Amino acid sequence: MAERVQAQNYAIAQRGEATQRQQAGFFGQDVDDDEFIGDDGDVDLGIPDAYANSGFMDESALAESQVQQQVAAAAAQQAAAQALAAIPDAVRKYIVLFRQAVNNGNVAEITTAYEASWNRLTEKFYQRTEWPEAEVIAPLVEDDQKFLTLYRELWYRHVYSRLSPDGEDRFHSYDNYCDFFNFVLNSEGPVPLELPSQWLWDIIDEFIYQFQSYSQWRNRVSAKSEDELLLLQDGGVWSSYSVLNVLYSLIQKSRIVEQLQAAHEGEDPDEVAGEFGSRSLYKQLGYFSIIGLLRVHVLMGDYTLALKMLDTIDLHKKAQASVAAGSASSGSGLPSLNRVTACHVTCYYYVAFAYIMLRRYPDAIRCLSHILVFIMRLRQYHTRSWQYDQIAKTGDRMYALLAIVCALCPTRLDENVQTAMRDKYGEQFGKMSKGGDEGLAAFEELFLYACPKFITGNGPPYHDDEALRPFYTSPIPDPAQHQVRIFLSDVKSQLSNANIRSFLRLYTTLGTDKLANFLEVDQEDLVEELMVAKASSRSVKWNDGGLLEGEIVNTSDLDFVIDTDMVHIAESRVGRKYGEWFLRQGVRMHQTLQHIKSKPLPIVDEKAQAAHAAAVAAAAAGNAAQNTDGNKSRTGQQGRTGGGAAKGAWGAPRASASVVAAAGPQPNGASATTA
């Protein structure tokens, strides 16, 4: 807070003095006081002639005012010098080089400064404190307003992520975003600014996050101070209309929808891009605004409009809507979800959640499985990414959503994804599969954990004290509770059919009267319950076209048809794909073998190895001596027995070989005898 007060004093001094005097004062140069003295020797205090000549201020008042202004200016300069001197040299050098990279349009250097250096310096110097304010570092960057606007965006993002923003921070951050978007949208031509794709996505993502955070903070009326209540009377700050207006304006300015449609039809997107859309800055901001609108509409509960925003983006191609070649640095080609991992993950998370709320469980499972496999394959890359923690948290929430939809729509998943899901939420998945009160509680628990933080379009009436008074005792209900009630109403209708399905699995043909007796209900009520069960097992599944299109399919492994008073049941189970299983096991065995080979060989002590070799040799010599003694003993025993009969293979006496040979062959099969 001390640095903030110093910065504010310094800003006052800047308004009264020239930029040259600020820089000269900071770098220790001598400043001639005559620069601020007129030709007649008087100090120009900026007092209008009407007041100077009308007698309202006498000479003593003028002198006193002059002294006060000089004292204030000196205090502001001293505070500015102290604030600048407190900045570490590494940070000062970083800010200067960062500004040079932005002005030169060097995307590679900007990426390094943004993704690596900023986070490294934050961990070292500003892990629990604020970065220097923009007014403090203004002399270092020659009061470059374009760079200072970008710097403030990083400054407020740091406050939101690591500190706790107050009301003024929320309002000033909104003003800074307005300055940036006005600079981009209201210029006569494309602005000379090149930023990396990651930073442009983070600007849109952080803009929506702060709008979401402000909406939740605004609804807590009882926790507001008097100053915050005065600030909140301005209803235009962080309003839903202003946020949506910015996102739609970026899409319209960049003509990104027309470019994506042209690329989908095989035409050249540059022909419809226009003057602004041909620039990488506008093209990427427009593309990311489409994903931003998907997120905003989901947060406001309009799931159909949210999916409608992605009509021009094909999520089901491996290229992830990258329909033109080109690198991000050169600006050629259309943007792609794959270029920014955080954008890719965010898009699939909100698409899957919108599908869940629209009861399109097969499509939700497909989206969640795809993105979770994507995260697992690139886990090594994400570990080195500075956004790994956020991606990992989103991945855990998506596993919770996957457990919910798999309990409602049993589907065979990828083995690795299914294993990870059961490791994380196996207990809740078992409860949800069984149903009952515990199952409903598990559904609610996972839904509240995995759902986004919903917002309300309008806040309390801070401009009207009388209308605001009831909100102190009865605050605005949490919109997440409303969404979970809608979701659980559908879950209850499906869980109520579990008893009927358990009986239907035992038969292929069953009469309705017999089934009614089993369930102890009236036959007409049974038919109604069967129709409810039939409807709950039907869902729209995407096949081709936009995300809202599809065909009606059966989402359960049990299907039945009612023919008058008979129910015909057909149960289908998906067989296990053994080929894929063997391939995965082979890959796993190969990875294990490579892991073993990569380990260093054990280091054996030479003395211990020599002692082991001597012990083995001694043991071998002992065994040899023992075998020799055994052979001698057996030879002596044979000599004592002499020509005794030997046992045959089956235990019968065997004649001597010499006797049989002497007897020779006997006629008529007679046996040979011995004398």
Q: Are residues 454 and 345 in the same domain?
A: yes
Select the more confidently predicted residue: 595 or 454. Answer: 454
Is the pLDDT at 552 greater than 70? The verdict is yes
Q: Are residues 527 and 453 in the same domain?
A: no
SS3 track for 651-671: CCEECCHHHHHHHCCCHHHCC
pLDDT score for 576: 57
Q: Are residues 511 and 433 in the same domain?
A: no
Is the pLDDT at 665 greater than 70? The verdict is no
Residue at 52 is within a domain: yes
Q: What is the pLDDT of residues 63-83, one digit of tens each?
A: 777 777 777 767 767 776 677
Of the pLDDT bands very low, low, confident and very high (cuts 50, 70, 90), residue 604 is low
Of the pLDDT bands very low, low, confident and very high (cuts 50, 70, 90), residue 324 is very low
Is the pLDDT at 103 greater than 60? The verdict is yes
> How far is 586 from 69, CA to CA, in rounded Å?
81
What's the predicted TM-score (pTM) here? 0.73
Q: What is the pLDDT of residues 610-626, one digit of tens each?
A: 888 888 888 888 777 66
493 is written with which tokens? Answer: 């209708």
- How does the average pLDDT of the chain come out, rounded? 78
The domain boundary residue, chosen from 37, 54, 81: 81
State the helix-helix crossing angle for 578-598 and 415-434, rounded to 10 degrees: 120
pLDDT score for 156: 95
> How far is 440 from 219, CA to CA, in rounded Å?
29
Which range marks the domain in which residue 537 is found? 496-595
For the chain, percent of residues with pLDDT exceeding 70: 76
pLDDT score for 109: 93
Q: What is the pLDDT of residues 219-264, one digit of tens each?
A: 888 888 888 888 888 777 888 999 999 999 999 999 999 999 898 8
Mean pLDDT of 542-570: 80
For the chain, percent of residues with pLDDT exceeding 90: 32
Q: Are residues 406 and 482 in the same domain?
A: yes
Of the pLDDT bands very low, low, confident and very high (cuts 50, 70, 90), residue 659 is very low
Distances (CA, A) of 157 to 69, 151, 160, 333, 417: 36, 10, 5, 30, 33
The domain boundary residue, chosen from 547, 573, 595: 595
Of the pLDDT bands very low, low, confident and very high (cuts 50, 70, 90), residue 584 is confident
In the DSSP assignment, the letter for residue 245 is H
568: CATH:
1.10.10
pLDDT score for 365: 93
Q: Are residues 508 and 590 in the same domain?
A: yes
The domain boundary residue, chosen from 536, 565, 595: 595
Select the more confidently predicted residue: 650 or 60. Answer: 60
Mean pLDDT of 632-639: 49
pLDDT score for 577: 59
Residue at 280 is within a domain: no
Q: Are residues 480 and 511 in the same domain?
A: no
Is the pLDDT at 386 greater than 70? The verdict is no
> How far is 319 from 343, CA to CA, in rounded Å?
15
> How far is 406 from 429, CA to CA, in rounded Å?
8
Is the pLDDT at 18 greater than 50? The verdict is no
Q: Are residues 423 and 510 in the same domain?
A: no
Is the pLDDT at 644 greater than 70? The verdict is no
Q: Are residues 427 and 539 in the same domain?
A: no
Is the pLDDT at 549 greater than 60? The verdict is yes
pLDDT score for 579: 73
Mean pLDDT of 202-227: 90
Q: Are residues 18 and 35 in the same domain?
A: yes
Residue at 155 is within a domain: no
Q: Are residues 584 and 441 in the same domain?
A: no
